[in-house]
Every structure is written in structure tokens, then in C-alpha cells.
A and B are shown apart, each in its own frame.
Chain A
Amino acid sequence: MPDRTRLRVVLAEDAALLREGLVAILEDAGHEVVAAVGNADALVSYVEQVTPDLVLTDIRMPPDHSDEGLRAAVAIRAAHPDMAIMLLSAYVADAYVAELLESAPGGGLGYLLKDRVGHVREFLESLDRVVAGETVVDPEVVRQLLRRRRSDGPLAALTQRERDVLALMAEGRTNGSIAQQLVVSEAAVRKHVGNIFAKLPLDPAFDRRVSAVLAYLRR
């Protein structure tokens, strides 16, 4: 891969097959896998030792196979607010998204379905985006949230077009990319984004764009 920064990654995935696959993908891309572990406790202790650029972890891991990875991520985040974390999940659960977004603001966060890893190029790009501090949420998660009825809440004030724009923002896209996707000018997108910011009660602790996305994801 040309001019991609070499990342130091700590990886947690309980299934050996997938762990090896992820290591291979990361190493193919020139990243350094500092540690590849099979449970959340080992993940937390390695992160303490080596302070990686990126934490990549499965959500469902032993011993309980529920959300050990997620809880480890929240703990890591509390100790290192700037640590970039990408979570992988075998299925969509909005409970995950909510918990993820409850964690402290700081460095980049990502939540992807494992199916996405097969799209190696896109997967590596989303890792870079998370390291760059962006929030990346799986398109399938966004699609599901988009289908949800919003009879109440702040999003009720948005027009359909503004919601479309916000949904694309939630996927982590830039104004330029949104304009391309919706086949409108970037100026039009900027206007919609401005309207969204004006209509939503935004949390001053966050960047306005992040905050709007959070409002959206929390519905």
C-alpha cells in the first residue's frame, strides 16, 4: 500500500481463524500487529503495556460471549481518551452503538460488521479514518437506524433531505462525498448541514458534526 502510515495495532478476537485472517490483512497492509489476543483481559493489559495507535477488537468474546470487547473498549477509552478503537461485531445490535457512544469523547471510534472485513481496501481505509479521529459506523447499522420510526425526539424537526445528509454524515462521509452520493453541489450539502446544526440541540463537549451524528444515532 503506498503512503499509508504504519500503525501499531493491538488486536483481540477469540476465533483463531479470524484472528489470523485479521493479522494477515493488517500485515499485508504494512501495519504492525503488536499483539493479537483472544480475550478482553489480555487486550486491556497489552494496551497498557504497548500504547498502540489502534485497538481492533471483537465485541463478543469469552468468557460470557456477550459484550466483553465493548466493555474493554469503554475501559481503555476511560484511561486513554485519545486511543483510536475499532470494534467488530458479528451482528448489528443497537445496544452496542448506544453503549459505544456513551463512552467518553476523544479519539476515533468505529463499529463495523465482520462481513465488512472482506472488503479489505474499505476496511483498511476505515481503520485509517478511525486513527485520524473520525467516527465510523457500519452502513448496515446506519440503514437500520434510518428505518426506525422517529415520532418524537429532536430529529422530528428535520426534513427528509436533511435526514439523508445526516445519515451519510453518520457513516463518516465528508461534505464532498455526501454531495457526490446525493448528486447535489457541495454548497447545497453545506447548507443542509448548517440547518441540521441549527435544528438539533447539540452537546458543546463534542465537535458539532460529531454531536449531530450522535444525536442521530441515539435517535
Chain B
Amino acid sequence: MTTPPDAWAAVRGRPRSFLTSRWPWRSLAYLSSTVPVGIVCLLLMLVLIGVGLLTLVVLVGLVLLAGVPRAASAVAVAERIRARLVLPRPEAAPGPTLRERLRARHSLPIIWSEVGYVVLLSTLLWLVDAAVLVFAVGVPVVLVLAPLLVRFGPLEVLGLRVDSSGEAILAVGLGIVSVVASAYLVTAVASGQAALTRLLLDPPEARLVEAVAALRRSRVDLVEAFESERRRIERDLHDGVQQRLVALAMTLGRAELKTPSGATLELIQAARQQAEEALENLRLTVRGIHPAVLTDHGLVAAVHDVADRCPVPVDTDIKVAGRLPAPVEAAAYFVVSEALTNVARHAQARSAQVHAWTEDDRLVVTVIDDGIGGATVGRGSGLAGLVLRLEAHDGTLQVHSPHGGPTEVRMECPIELG
């Protein structure tokens, strides 16, 4: 059974998982703590404003009154944290610390929504919560204890009169039902109030920052899912189709040796040839998806491999120790592969160089050729797709290619992915 992520989700979820979760208890704690917090706020505000108005004539009051928004800010910080009792924030979005927030407040203008919230908290919210608590805790307690209480005289709860011990037993049953109802009531009120707190106290920028962070995470997830899917396809092709084709070629090879020369032998030879061509095609396809040498041996071996295949002579200098995270290796490999493909096709170059090194926890890869230049990261080109892929990891891909050359493709990408 999965635990609901917050109180509101718990209320809407299955009753069993709601009632066994910790959310009703946390909501109860939230509402109970609202009462003293609200009373303290009320007193604080009364003192600040009252004394401030009284001493306004001697100007001290100005200072006190100016302190109201500050005090409201401090309360707001505490209230945001208290709201997490009911609506926890996702862990992955660490906000500024309390100290940073308080320090930042000094330079911030008055935030009226915070002042408004504190006024609301110290007048209305704690009263509402107190009423809800009395009702939600009082009713079940009285009903469950009815067999005891009825001895001291008749009871009346919610318009029901209990004056005999028989009715008291019935009341216990009702009491158990009302415990469930109370759990729902308390949790719903607490969720609503915490949501209101969020609405008033979270500045819009903070919500934007959170949204951007969430979007960025989902983009990284997408790129990584894409990458691992490619690795899976490569493995499937290698373990499946490729092996069957090799086995087919073997069988045909054996048949070839057992067949006397003639038309049948020629057919068998042709079939083996075709199996080998299919293997070669498959190999090319796999290389475009995710080369096995990259998975097994890492970036250095894979770059050597692609450089060796390039019809233009390529010098390589790869200063990368050990293995990098798979998405970084893949991005770097495909940048080199795509850039060298372009060199071979369009640059009319005599030679090219591939360099790779790490600096400041970033991987830098450059591919330079001595061709005619004029290359761009055009829409639909292989490099354009790589730009997107790198951006998801906070990386960059730049192409400097003046007419007349030389062309430099430069990729940078953080090694530790966030």
C-alpha cells in the first residue's frame, strides 16, 4: 500500500489507507497548534499596534508600527514551515534556508499578503480551528464515554438524548462512526487551511521557480529515459536478431561444406552472403542507436572507433579518465559522430581533430576540421537534436564555422548530472 503524499491526497484516497495513514494525526496537530499560534499572534499584533498608536506622538510608535510587516514576515516563515505538516513540499526543491529568508526580508518591500495572512490567523483562523477541534474531538469522546457519563445524568449530543445505559451502548457505536467523520473533517479543514497559507504566503516567483525546477527535472528524466531505451534496443538487437543471423550464417556455412558443387551450392552460398549483408546492415543500425563499444568500453574506445571509420584522417586526443555517466558519454559520442559525419560529407576537409578533456567538473569536447566552413546547426540536422539533448543536462553545443573555415564544434556538459 503506498502512502498518500499529502493530507489532501489522503482525504481523496481510499478510506482504509486514509484512516491508517499519519495524515489525520498530523492534521490534528496542525489545527491544535493553530490555536496557540493564533492567540500569540493576536496578542503580538495588539501590543505592537496598540503601543505603537499610543506612542505615535513621541515617534517611537512609528518604529513599532513599521515593525508590524517585519513581524508578519517572521510569522509567515514559521507558518510556511508549519503548513508542511499537512502539505509537505517535494524533497527535490530545496528553497532558501530560514536564515537566508530572514536576511533577505530586510531588503524587501512590505508584503501585504503576509500582513493580511497574519491578521486572518490572529482573528479568524484560530477561532475556526478551535471550534472544529471542540466539535471533532468533543463529540466522539462524549459518545464513546456515554456508558460512564450517563450514570451522572442524561446526556444530549447533537440533539440526541441519551438517558439509559442501553442507549449509551448505541452511543458508543455512533461514537466510533463519528471518530471516522472527525478524521475526515479535521484533515479536510487542515488541508484547506494549509492550501490557503500557501496561496497567500508563497510569492509568485517562488511558485515559478518550483514549476521551472519541476519542468527541468521532467526534461532530464525524458532524455534519460530516451537514452536508456536506446541502450535497451541495442542490447535486444545484439542478443536477439544479431545472434540469430550469425547462427544462420553458421548453418549455411556448414551446409556449404556438405554440398557438392552445383546449383544448390551456389544458392547456399548466396544465402550465406545475404545473411552476412543483413548482419552488416544491422551493425550499422545498432551503431546509430547506441554503439555496443560505448556501452562496454566507454567514451575513449567509442571515439577511437568512430574516428577510425571516418574517411577523413582524424587525430584524437581524449583525456578522460574512467567512465562518465552514461548520458554524458552518449551525448559526447554522438556529437563526435555527427560532427565527423558532417566533416566527411560537406567540409571538403583534409584532416580533423577530436579533443576531449574535463575542466571544472565539465566535459569539453571539440571537433575541428580544416575544411571550407559555413556549417550551421540547422533545423533537422543531427546536431540540432544534440543541442536539445545537451540543454536538458545544462550543457551547450556551439558551432563556429566562418566561410572558408576552419570549423569548430564545441560541446560542454556538466559531468555530475543534477
Residues of A within 8 A of B (CB): 15, 17-18, 20-22, 24-25, 28, 60, 65-67, 90-95, 114-115, 117-121, 123, 144-145, 147-149, 151
Contact = CB atoms under 8 A, between A and B. Distances in A.
B227 interface: no
A118 B246 contact: yes
Contacts of B297: 66-67, 93, 95
B247 A17 contact: yes
A118 B253 contact: yes
Given A18-B246, A147-B309, A118 B252 contact: yes
Contacts of A22: 250
A26 B314 CA distance: 41
Given A114-B246, A123-B253, 9 more contacts: A15-B239, A17-B244, A93-B297, A94-B304, A95-B304, A117-B253, A118-B246, A118-B249, A120-B253
Nearest to A120: B253
Interface centre among A15, A90, A91, A118 (most CB of B within 10 A): A118
Given A90-B238, A90-B292, A93-B301, A115 B279 contact: yes
Contacts of B301: 93-95
A15 B240 CA distance: 10
For chain B, what secondary structure do more than half of its interface residues adopt (helix, strand, loop), or is it mixed? helix
B305 A151 contact: no
A25 B296 contact: no
A25 B255 CA distance: 10
Interface string B300-327: 0100110111010111000000000000
Given A15-B243, A17-B243, A95-B297, A119 B309 contact: no
Contacts of B283: 91
A151 B279 CA distance: 33
B122 to A, nearest CB: 64
Interface in B266-295: 272, 275-276, 279-280, 283, 291-293
Contact of B257 (A93, A121, A147): A121
17 contacts: A15-B239, A20-B247, A21-B247, A21-B251, A25-B254, A28-B258, A60-B296, A66-B297, A95-B304, A118-B272, A120-B256, A144-B309, A145-B308, A147-B308, A147-B309, A148-B307, A149-B351
